[in-house]
Structure 1
Amino acid sequence: MWKDKLKAFFTRQPVEKHDTAAWANIKETKAESNVPIPDIIDVENAKEYVEENKK
């Protein structure tokens, strides 16, 4: 019983923020699979980010 209270005390909310993700600005979604398709600007920004951060 005290372990449950201890675990609840030390668990935190995740820090993830999806506001700046590539899929945040959804252009449309596919009909059957419901997969989001981002705007072309977000795709280009993601591509530039990946190319700049290659090792």
Structure 2
Amino acid sequence: MSEWIDGCIAHDFNNLLTGIITSLELSQKRVADQRLDKVQGCRRFMVCPSIGR
């Protein structure tokens, strides 16, 4: 039973991380393309640009 719960929690956590990482990658692309109007509110979350490289 605990293995099933562990699997569910890991799956849910992975889903959360996927959304966060995808959003950060999109924001980085917009910054690179000089589309800063779309990312003004996100700068404080992008403190470590080397994540994922």
Fold equivalence (TM over 0.5): no
- Structure number, greater radius of gyration: 1
Point out the structure with the larger helix share.
Answer: 2
Point out the structure with the larger strand share.
Answer: 1
TM normalised by structure 1 equals: 0.29
